[in-house]
Structure 1
Amino acid sequence: MRTQMPSTFALAERYGYTTSYAALTHPSLGNYIAMAAGSTLGIADDGDPDVHRLHGPSVFSQALAAGKTAAIYAEGMPGTCATTSGGDQYVVRHNPWTYFVDDRAACSTYDVPATRLPGDIAAGTLPNVGMVIPDLCNDAHDCSLTRADDWLHLTVDAVLAGPDWRSGRLAVVITADEDDRHQDNLVLTTVLHPSLRHVVVDAPLTHLSLSRFLSEVVHQPPLRDAAGAPSLGDAFGLRIGR
């Protein structure tokens, strides 16, 4: 990672990273659903939302029900809450909110193309619970790790220059949905917050740990299996939302 993704490696060294953070399944979709729902909900393929019509709460609907804010910024998505792949290298399997059919109205409002991200950064209106989803090139699926590192460098630098970061209310988590099937599904996960300096977390964590943290940020109980997972926030000593 030091040579292929030097900018991301520098962020990990400066703020914090994990050594034992695991994705839960292959292929991609179940991992995104686990982050959003606290469980893979039994999903073991990359089917579209018309195949997997999920009911019940997500971390996004939790945030809105608590009077907080939620958003997904999906790169290349041709419109809001797009439930089919298309646009400019957008794939719906990486956009978990689109699968929760009870929450389509909110998804249609707050699951937006990533072109909205710069304005929200500048305005200091980044959500309490949010995700930024790169397209298939910038996530290194179809392009190089160098390309992904360049995209992360530009995106994260913009976030760190914004008022939400400067206020101390914002934590940034950089993770991957799954590994390349060569590391037992371990994925390097980097956590950024102004309070962190050279923190290395060796405790076992998973995408359920991230889901739990997202619920905790908005003062809500962890969803489903995330209730039994260690919190990513606790592992890094973050008290955001508490």
Structure 2
Amino acid sequence: MAETMISMHHLAKRFGKQVVLSDINFDVQKGEIVGLMGPSGAGKSTVIKAILGMIAVDRGKATVFDTQMPNRELLARIGYMAQTDALYDTLTARENLVFYGKMKGLDKTVLTHDVEHVAMVVDLLSDLDKRVINFSGGMQRRLSLAIALLGTSDLLILDEPTVGIDPALRQKIWRELHQIRDAGRSILITTHVMDEAELVDQVALLMAGKVMAFNPPEILKAQYQVDSIESVFLKAEGVQL
């Protein structure tokens, strides 16, 4: 039986009169990539914050490793990339990576190897010793992703990690994510780039505060009788194709 890494039951959240999440239900199993897909403003980041206990929900429950977050002891098992970068801009990229690696409890020898590896994945090897204050926005996003990839976290939660990244580098990053999945680790990734849905194991389509569909990409396309996840999304919205 598959091990459940994240479980969400009837999550609901509103900010004032605005309903952001009305009834969110889906799980992330061990050794799979789940893509939480939806347009900007659909509530993807709110789902992640609810999972991690960064916001209190109005109804429902979310657990990680069968435990309600936040839980300091579990943080070392999670690699998290937020939509906003939490970097020390007066430090170099390498110093940022080393700092966060030590926070994760990585051994010095392992950390030295990991810093080089994740910098290679996000194409920052030649920029490791440059101060982050001189990085472009895209470079800062790539550094944030590299930090999330440090170590061998059982679970990665990545919020829009490929925004502003060119197609060739996106392919390289997805190869790394697939290798992580194949090693038995789990990934929850949010994106509004619909072609990335073809690269995940399960697609959760988020619209109007609800997960309108949750299935592997091929099953969703067969159910909606279309040839792309973007078309699935449009049909789920009621658009005539």
TM bracket, shorter-chain basis: 0.3 to 0.5
Q: Bigger relative contact order, structure 1 or 2, given CA contacts below 8 A and separation 6+?
A: 1
Quick check: which has more Rg, 1 or 2? 2
Q: What's the TM-score once normalised by structure 1's chain length?
A: 0.34
Kindly indicate which of the two structures has a greater share of residues assigned to strand: 2
Q: What's the TM-score once normalised by structure 2's chain length?
A: 0.34
